[in-house]
């Protein structure tokens, strides 16, 4: 927790996004990613592979947009910078490791924005509309977290369908982008299961809030919290779906 707190202090972000809790979430994720780097490695490798496959299958390569770029652990930035004339990294918080990585490429830009489910920011809509590849990188299941926590912080219960509506709204935004000339790549965790040391599933959580996704091109398990991270007797595993071509998956 001390590491996450320190990271929340040093990571740059507009005051409004800091108040909403995005910097805190980024710090927690950064700290956990470093503690669990060995357990996360297979997931990150497959996520990067799915993005590279989408990039290499994109015929026009003027620009690429990565929504939810974060720490860049799951984003093959060097490959994207080699393949596209311009790469836009979009997130509410760009931690210092990501900022330093982006600085190595003259054709990589950072856009700080609260990524709404419907991609309502006018500047974001513009760069997405003109992009040849749009990647939603392990973002979809995260979109409801801050809005739901905002209700809880005020001592109120979030509307029962809020999570569902946010997931549906983001998928609808990706549908609209996929209907254009660009390719959309979606990578998202879908279900969380809790396991004990005997391999028994003790609990599950639907990260899609009841929204059904089409059959993925690839799917794998992500050991999000290995034994000892949250409890020595249990671990959390997320099921991940990858869609290098969202339009084809929706067809």
CATH of the domain at 79: 3.40.50
Domain assignment present for residue 88? The answer is yes
Q: What is the DSSP-derived secondary structure letter of residue 190?
A: E
Q: Specify the higher pLDDT residue, 181 or 55.
A: 55
> Exposed, middle or buried by CB within 10 Å (0-12, 13-18, 19+), for 225?
buried
- Nearest CA to 115 out of 75, 142, 155 is that of 142
pLDDT at 3: 47
Q: What is the pLDDT of residues 94-109, one digit of tens each?
A: 988 899 999 999 999 9
Structural domains of the chain, count: 1
Domain assignment present for residue 105? The answer is yes
Q: Which of 81-85, 181-185, 210-214 bottoms out in mean pLDDT, i.e. has the lowest?
A: 181-185
Domain assignment present for residue 128? The answer is yes
Domain assignment present for residue 1? The answer is no
**Structural domain harbouring 239:** 41-250
pLDDT at 5: 47
**Angle in degrees, CA 185, 163, 8, rounded to 5:** 75
Domain assignment present for residue 212? The answer is yes
Q: How far apart are the first and last CA of the chain?
A: 44
Domain assignment present for residue 26? The answer is no
Domain assignment present for residue 121? The answer is yes
Domain assignment present for residue 238? The answer is yes
């Amino acid at each position: 927790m001390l590491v996450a707190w320190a990271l929340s202090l040093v990571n740059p972000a507009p005051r409004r996004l800091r108040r909403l809790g995005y910097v805190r979430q980024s710090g927690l994720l950064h700290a956990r990613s470093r503690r669990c780097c060995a357990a996360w490695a297979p997931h990150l490798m497959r996520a990067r592979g799915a993005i590279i496959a989408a990039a290499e299958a994109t015929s026009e390569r003027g620009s690429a947009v990565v929504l939810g770029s974060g720490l860049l652990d799951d984003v093959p930035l060097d490959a994207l910078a080699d393949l596209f004339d311009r790469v836009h990294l979009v997130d509410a918080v760009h931690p210092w490791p990501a900022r330093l990585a982006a600085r190595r490429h003259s054709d990589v830009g950072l856009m700080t924005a609260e990524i709404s489910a419907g991609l309502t920011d006018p500047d974001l809509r513009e760069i997405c509309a003109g992009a040849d590849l749009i990647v939603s990188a392990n973002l979809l299941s995260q979109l409801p977290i801050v809005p739901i926590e905002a209700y809880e912080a005020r001592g109120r219960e979030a509307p029962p369908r809020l999570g569902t509506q946010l997931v549906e709204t983001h998928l609808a935004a990706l549908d609209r982008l996929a209907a254009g000339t660009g390719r959309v790549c979606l990578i998202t965790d879908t279900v969380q299961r809790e396991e004990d040391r005997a391999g028994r599933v003790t609990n599950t959580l639907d990260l899609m809030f009841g929204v059904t996704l089409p059959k993925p091109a690839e799917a794998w398990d992500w050991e999000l919290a290995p034994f000892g991270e949250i409890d020595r007797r249990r671990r959390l595993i997320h099921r991940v779906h990858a869609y290098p071509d969202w339009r084809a998956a929706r067809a």
